Amino acid sequence: MAIINADITLGILGGGQLGRMSAMAAARLGIAVIIYSPEQDCPASYVAKETIVASYDDQDALKAFCEKTDIITYEFENIPLKTIEYIETLKANAVLPEKTLLDVSQDRIKEKTFLNEQDIQTTRWAAVRDLNDIQATATLWGSPRFILKTARFGYDGKGQIKCEAATLSDDKDLQSYLEETKGHDIIMEDFVPFTKEISIIIARDVNGKTELYGPMLNEHKNHILHKTTMPCDIAETIKDKAFSVSKTISEAISLIGVLTVEFFVCDDGTLLVNEIAPRTHNSGHWTVDACCVSQFENHVRTVCGLPVGSSKRHSDATMLNLIGDDINHIDHYLDDDCANIHLYGKKQVKKGRKMGHVTILSPKTNAY
């Protein structure tokens, strides 16, 4: 029998909305949360027992964080690996999900290498450094369009550029991109004319039991997730493949925690993994309102040694992100009895900033 120990204090590195919603789920289980964030008044700080505001390389602050917490997790993948390594010198095996996953997901080259080693199909890719490499790869592949991405620290389309094989040598945007990214590793990918972008979220507990959410259909605007629909209209075979790929990844790294897998679905039914994230995900926000146990509760449960909970969906859901100024136009949702509004408490509205989301529920229409 699992005992929920009311004395557990969970430390979360990072204080954004994902940390906030995990802290709220922890509070429901009677688990206290201490947030560690370089940002004063971060979204998670409003719902946590305490927030330590310090940089990720502040060893004194990290020491205090370790002393006050029993288990440590993170809410986004760009926490420096050195921070986790330092924490582990103070507190062995305290950080979950385990750091191999963080290491792999911080670098697109390592990520794709790891996926391909598990026989998981990704877009065709190559590590490139300069225009010569790009031209040579374009010639070798013989395909018309590519995407270049910085290997590290790219998200929401940042550090990416699309280019055409025919105009590589006189593409001014490409020249500026290569200037800006000089010295950084770059990955070149075939441009995939996908028909859908989907994601799966998998939670795996200490006993290896898993629960899956999805596949969710994801639609982006300006590279930022705009809308997630669950369930998505997709062939049963693709759903099964996406589940099995997600399980393979979680088993390959003996996941304890939550992992998100993003896929491209092509016209002919081919499924390609675009990226993985060792954490809860924006495309799983609807699980708070439409599932028995949300992705956030399962994050807390699994890293705290509790059994993973049922991901069963009781309603269909559409999640809409409130980006930037969208937050000033939510009046109609206040009167909508199917709309669940979630705001993150961010004081400053900025273009492209995720300020909140709305999940609209409707009666469940299919079996999964």
Return the number of the residue (265 or 300) whose C-beta is nearest ligand AMP: 265
Contact 284, 200 (CB under 8 A): no
Among 274, 282, 283, 321, binds ligand AMP (CB under 6 A): 274
Half-sphere exposure (CA, 13 Å, Cβ side) for 366?
A: 11
Return the number of the residue (149 or 313) whose C-beta is nearest ligand AMP: 149
Question: Which run of H or E residues covers position 90?
Answer: helix 81-90
Among 131, 147, 165, 361, binds ligand AMP (CB under 6 A): 147
Among 58, 64, 113, 157, binds ligand AMP (CB under 6 A): 157
Least Å from the CB of residue 257 to ligand AMP: 20
Q: 35 forms bridges with which residues in the sheet?
A: 12, 51
Contact flags string 159-198 toward ligand AMP, x per CB under 6 A: ------------------------------x-xx----x-
Spatial distance between the Cα atoms of 141 and 125, rounded to a whole number of angstroms: 10
CB neighbours of residue 71 within 10 Å:
19
Among 28, 182, 209, 220, binds ligand AMP (CB under 6 A): 220
Give the type of residue at 8. Answer: I
Least Å from the CB of residue 189 to ligand AMP: 4
100 in helix, strand or coil?
helix
Return the number of the residue (25 or 151) whose C-beta is nearest ligand AMP: 151
Return the number of the residue (38 or 154) whose C-beta is nearest ligand AMP: 154
From the list 59, 56, 62, 168, the residue with the least C-alpha distance to 106 is 56
Return the number of the residue (266 or 341) whose C-beta is nearest ligand AMP: 266
Q: What are phi and psi of 159, to 5 degrees?
A: 75, 20
The count of chain residues that interact with ligand AMP, using the rule CB under 6 A, is: 12
Contact flags string 76-115 toward ligand AMP, x per CB under 6 A: ----------------------------------------
Residue 184 has which token pair? 């950084």
The two beta strands, 224-230 and 145-150, are unpaired
Spatial distance between the Cα atoms of 98 and 108, rounded to a whole number of angstroms: 18
Return the number of the residue (94 or 224) whose C-beta is nearest ligand AMP: 224
Among 82, 221, 223, 312, binds ligand AMP (CB under 6 A): 223
From the list 45, 57, 355, the residue with the least C-alpha distance to 224 is 355
Least Å from the CB of residue 79 to ligand AMP: 18
For position 150 contacting ligand AMP by CB under 6 A, the verdict is no
Contact 91, 83 (CB under 8 A): no
* CA-CA-CA-CA torsion sign (178, 183, 189, 193): negative
Give the type of residue at 261. Answer: V
Among 69, 73, 106, 123, binds ligand AMP (CB under 6 A): 123
Least Å from the CB of residue 314 to ligand AMP: 28
Name the residues that contact ligand AMP, by CB under 6 A.
Answer: 123, 147, 154, 157, 189, 191-192, 197, 220, 223, 274-275
